[in-house]
A and B are shown apart, each in its own frame.
Chain A
Amino acid sequence: MKNRLRVLRAERGWSQAELAERLRVSRQTVNAIETGRYDPSLPLAFAIARVFGSVIETIFDPESSGDS
């Protein structure tokens, strides 16, 4: 699934490690989501939306699927 995570993170000037710390996940998980190799669970997707003060639909594009 494509997403705008990298763009949103860059806008706030956060590193992957900083975002991972806010989400309580590993840096590799943030990297895997950003590159589309992993689709997060619903609770994690909500947590991502909350961190960016947004809604899930504006961050994730359900039309494209890239999870392995």
Chain B
Amino acid sequence: MLSRLPSERISRIGVVEFVAAAATLVAGTLLLRRAGLFYLERPYSYYFFFPGVMALFISGVLVFRIVRRGEYPWVFGLAAIALPLFQPSVAPYTVRFRVVVAIRDLALIATAVLFVTRSISRADELERRVHVQAVSWSYSAIVLALVSYAMFEDVLPPLHATWVASALLASWMVAWAYESARYQR
């Protein structure tokens, strides 16, 4: 059962588990994608499929451990990595695939919203202050980056909406980690 008390904000084990969860998430997704490419050639497919499922399972276990300790902002970082991996625009352009992708993304977003609300509701006054400072930094940085991009958008490659969402989450997590560490020193 989850504790009702505010969490330990940032811990060494949290950093280690976040890095391991991110690595296994990327590895698992790439392996399953390879398995999908070779699904007609059964032996090759299995070589990629089972390690892929195992890597995603390990990533899931690590995320569960992070969530149990209440270090929710690491999940924002994982979402920032997952969004470009599961980019909806790379799904085949058929109604069936796009509906599947839409349901998957809505489930992911609903989970992320749940983590954000739980994170804020369980936070004490200092942790809320840390979140406000982190969001301020990340929002400002992304607005600055977008305005800078807009000045050269006619010569730069197109910017995917998923990347912007990913950058927002990633910068929030980085700013949260920095601000938390600043108060913990």
Contact = CB atoms under 8 A, between A and B. Distances in A.
Interface of A: 20-21, 24-29, 31-32, 37-38, 40-41, 44, 68
Contacts, number: 46
Contacts of A32: 126, 183-184
Nearest to B124: A25
Interface in B77-126: 124-126
B8 interface: yes
24 contacts: A20-B5, A20-B6, A21-B5, A24-B5, A24-B124, A25-B125, A25-B126, A26-B5, A26-B6, A26-B7, A27-B8, A28-B127, A28-B180, A28-B184, A29-B124, A29-B126, A29-B127, A32-B183, A37-B182, A38-B126, A38-B183, A40-B125, A68-B182, A68-B183
A29 B5 contact: no
Most interface-central of B6, B9, B126 (chain A CB within 10 A)? B126
Interface of B: 5-9, 124-127, 129, 180, 182-185
